[in-house]
């Protein structure tokens, strides 16, 4: 028996060796997708996308429920109505009304076989735990002395869908139930499972339980965890046990959400490895909301501009994220499809290495290396609301002289000579992905913008030396990332809600750089006034949330007088960001 077991271990080790690429039904069909719609998308993928690496076809969300006639949540009442399709052992099976090929107890095997014949792979969505319906029916667990009642942890329900109880992973009944469902999925030919309600809040024991059940089921299966954000403090654990895990909440087609992804994707960059991929979420492009969910205008194309779509694809590809399209493929316009078939960009996602952020803020920059020593990739982004020139020092990637090609447009865009800084004008919310052909190398320099400069004198926002006026208040940092354990919140919205740093010491009069460490889930604006002078407007870009897991930074220049100074933050009409501290240093 050792050789089959060894072969399985090797096969599981090769699961998702590169970021999975495919289609998921949720963004266009919510919780009502049918077999006919799945097949239509699969046929489009097989004909137009499979040769570019797109493989997975994933049925999302409550496929065991009858099709709903509204966009209301698919919850059950106290009598477990509407009933979910379930076998005698408490295992959910497809609704035959929506998936006719599953009738007669065949499950998803006929559909999986049909997809495999087209060289595609098949995936399904699961809710964490065991159906409440199975517990209510006291279903036996296959090949065990236990029942669903023994396996359930009724103190751990899903907070937003009442179909499931959690699993008691300390009990052999919980482990037996997971083994039983994955043996079933393996018999169907499932290649991918997206397990929901598992990574936020993060359930260490259940994550390990799903991993072990997959490893024992006899078939290599990708394990994807949802929803986000997965806690950054669990990064090492999730990297060891899952193939994909969500970094964000559900991503939809609005710029503010995409804008908020930059810092989160960068923060998770160290935790990417073959078989283990941080997942910012599906790509909400193409024809969305054909039938729900109600997150925007129904049955319309993505609200992203084409420049924003290029930004989305560029960031996902250079950060080597999974690529799962959410739109209905047959109804997606040809220009959008062209983004899914660009060989340079897809190769970057699948085959590059040393992918790394080099700058953040308004103009993020990422770089990546390739197996060809003379070729690198450079991605330049513009998060501003107007076109802007983005500059980058080529020596930060070890290049002195090169040709650069626009990877999206497949055209040469210029020759860069020694000691020159690359500069490109990029549209609002746009991106430029460059393939760099190296002609001459340079000594590698350290990127000046990749991390905040912490040299200088640090001043905590919550210090008793400061003046907090109006509603501005010092609060505990929920994730313990702030230097003093607290930060100042509720700055702005009214003229009186202000934070003033007093006793800012300057050894001599002159220009100083003020680095602001802050937290925000969205782009916000604040005014900074020095020594009671006229307030200057500054933009603060999202840092990834309000939960304290991600801190961002911004730099402003200020003219200080010798001795003590004040620096005040506020916004009379809109909320500002939460401030951790500032660091003041002289201008070089």
Q: What predicted TM-score, i.e. pTM, was given to this entire model? A: 0.91
Can you tell me the distance from the alpha carbon of 128 to that of 52, in angstroms, rounded to the nearest whole number? 33
- Whether 189 maps to a domain, the answer reads yes
* 415 lies in the same domain as 510: no
Q: pLDDT tens-digit profile of 507-544? A: 999 999 999 999 998 999 999 999 999 999 999 999 88
Check whether 35 has a pLDDT greater than 80: yes
Task: Flag whether 284 is in a domain.
Answer: yes
User: Is 77 inside a domain boundary?
Assistant: yes
Residues 398 and 530 in one domain: no
**Cβ atoms 554, 504 nearer than 8 A:** no
Query: Could you tell me if 400 and 536 lie in one domain?
Result: no
DSSP letters, 27-85, are: HHHTT---HHHHHHHHHHIIIIIGGGT--EEEE-S-TTSPPPSSSS-----TT--SPPP
CATH number at residue 387: 2.60.40.1180
Alpha-carbon distance of 90 to 32, in angstroms, equals 22
Does 321 share its domain with 376? no
Same domain, 59 and 181: yes
> Is 451 part of a structural domain of the chain?
no
pLDDT tier, 71 (very low <50, low <70, confident <90, very high otherwise): confident
pLDDT in tens, 268-312: 999 999 999 999 999 999 999 999 888 999 999 999 999 999 999
pLDDT in tens, 415-456: 655 446 788 899 999 999 999 999 999 888 877 656 788 899
Only one residue has tokens 């050894």, namely 507
Domain membership of residue 232 as a residue range: 2-351
Q: Which of 412, 441, 470 is the last residue of a domain?
A: 441
Domain membership flag for residue 446: no
What is the signed CA dihedral for 235, 241, 243, 247, rounded to 10 degrees?
-30
Count the domains in the chain: 3
Write out the two tokens for 495: 């003229």
Residues 368 and 321 occupy one common structural domain: no
pLDDT averaged over every residue in the chain = 93
For residues 436 and 340, membership in a common domain is answered with no
Same domain (yes/no): 461, 416 = no
Secondary structure class of 520 (helix, strand, coil): coil
Q: Are residues 279 and 307 in the same domain?
A: yes
Are 290 and 368 found together in one domain?
no
DSSP for residue 480: S
- Look up the CATH number of the domain holding residue 334: 3.20.20.70
In a domain, 449, yes or no: no
Residues in contact with 292: Cβ distance below 8 Å, sequence separation at least 6, in sequence order: 29, 30, 31, 32, 71, 298
Nearest to 84 by CA among 154, 137, 149: 137
Q: Are residues 345 and 376 in the same domain?
A: no
Q: Return d(Cα 151, Cα 172) in angstroms, integer.
A: 8
In sign, the C-alpha dihedral spanning 196, 199, 204, 210 is positive
State which H helix or E strand residue 195 sits in.
strand 192-196
| Spatial separation of the C-alpha atoms in residues 110 and 106, rounded to whole Å | 7
362 in any annotated domain = yes
Question: Which residues, in sequence order, are CB contacts of 286 under 8 Å at separation 6+?
Answer: 28, 301, 302, 325, 326, 327, 328, 329, 331, 332, 333, 336, 337
Do 313 and 368 share a structural domain? no
């Amino acid at each position: 028996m050792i050789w089959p077991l060894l072969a399985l271990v090797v096969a599981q080790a090769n699961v998702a060796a590169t970021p999975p690429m495919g289609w998921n039904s949720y963004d266009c069909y919510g919780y009502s997708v049918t077999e006919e719609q799945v097949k239509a998308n699969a046929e489009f993928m097989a004909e137009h996308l499979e040769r570019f690496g797109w493989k997975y076809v994933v049925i999302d969300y409550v496929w065991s429920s009858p099709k709903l006639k509204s966009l209301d949540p698919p919850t059950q009442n106290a009598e477990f109505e509407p009933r979910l399709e379930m076998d005698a052992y408490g295992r959910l099976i497809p609704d035959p009304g929506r998936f006719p090929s599953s009738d007669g107890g065949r499950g998803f095997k006929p559909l999986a076989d049909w997809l495999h014949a087209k060289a595609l792979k098949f995936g399904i969505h699961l809710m964490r735990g065991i159906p409440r319906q199975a517990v209510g029916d006291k279903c036996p667990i296959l090949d065990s002395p236990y029942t669903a009642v023994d396996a359930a942890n009724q103190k751990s329900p899903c907070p937003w869908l009442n179909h499931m109880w959690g699993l008691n992973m300390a009990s052999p009944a919980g482990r037996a139930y997971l083994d039983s469902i994955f043996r079933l999925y393996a018999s169907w030919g499932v290649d991918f499972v997206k397990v929901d309600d598992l990574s936020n809040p993060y359930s260490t024991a259940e994550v390990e339980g799903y991993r072990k059940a997959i490893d024992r089921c006899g078939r290599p299966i990708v394990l994807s965890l949802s929803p986000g954000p997965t806690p950054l403090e669990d990064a090492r654990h999730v990297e060891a046990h899952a193939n994909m895990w969500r970094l964000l909440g559900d991503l939809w087609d609005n710029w503010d959400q995409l804008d908020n992804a930059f810092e989160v994707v960068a923060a998770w960059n160290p935790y990417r490895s073959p078989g283990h991929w941080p997942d910012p979420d599906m790509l909400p492009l193409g024809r969305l909301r054909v039938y729900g969910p109600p997150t925007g205008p129904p049955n319309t194309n993505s609200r992203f501009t084409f420049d924003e779509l290029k930004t989305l694809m560029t960031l996902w590809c250079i950060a080597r994220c999974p690529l799962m399209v959410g739109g209905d493929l047959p109804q997606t316009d040809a220009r959008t499809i062209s983004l899914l078939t660009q060989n340079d960009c897809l190769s970057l996602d699948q085959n590059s290495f040393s992918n790394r952020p080099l700058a953040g803020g308004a103009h993020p920059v990422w770089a990546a290396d390739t197996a060809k020593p003379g070729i690198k990739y450079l991605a330049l982004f513009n998060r501003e609301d107007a076109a802007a020139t983005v500059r980058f020092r080529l020596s930060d990637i070890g290049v002195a002289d090169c040709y650069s090609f626009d990877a999206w447009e497949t055209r040469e865009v210029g020759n860069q000579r020694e000691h020159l800084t690359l500069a490109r004008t990029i549209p609002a919310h746009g991106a430029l992905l460059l393939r760099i052909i190296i002609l001459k190398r340079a000594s590698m320099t350290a990127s000046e913008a990749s991390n905040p400069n912490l040299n200088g004198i640090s001043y905590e926002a919550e210090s008793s030396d400061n003046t907090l006026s109006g509603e501005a208040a010092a609060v505990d940092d929920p994730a313990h990332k702030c230097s003093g354990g607290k930060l100042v919140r509720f700055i702005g919205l009214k003229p009186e809600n202000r934070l003033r740093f007093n006793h800012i010491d300057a050894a001599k009069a002159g220009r100083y750089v003020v680095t602001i460490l802050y937290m925000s889930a969205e782009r916000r604006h604040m005014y900074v006034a020095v020594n009671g002078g006229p307030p200057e407007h500054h933009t603060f870009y999202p840092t990834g949330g309000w939960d304290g897991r991600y801190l961002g930074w911004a730099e402003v220049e200020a003219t200080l007088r010798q001795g003590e100074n004040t620096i005040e933050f506020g916004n009379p009409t809109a909320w500002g960001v939460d401030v951790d501290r500032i660091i003041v240093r002289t201008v070089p």
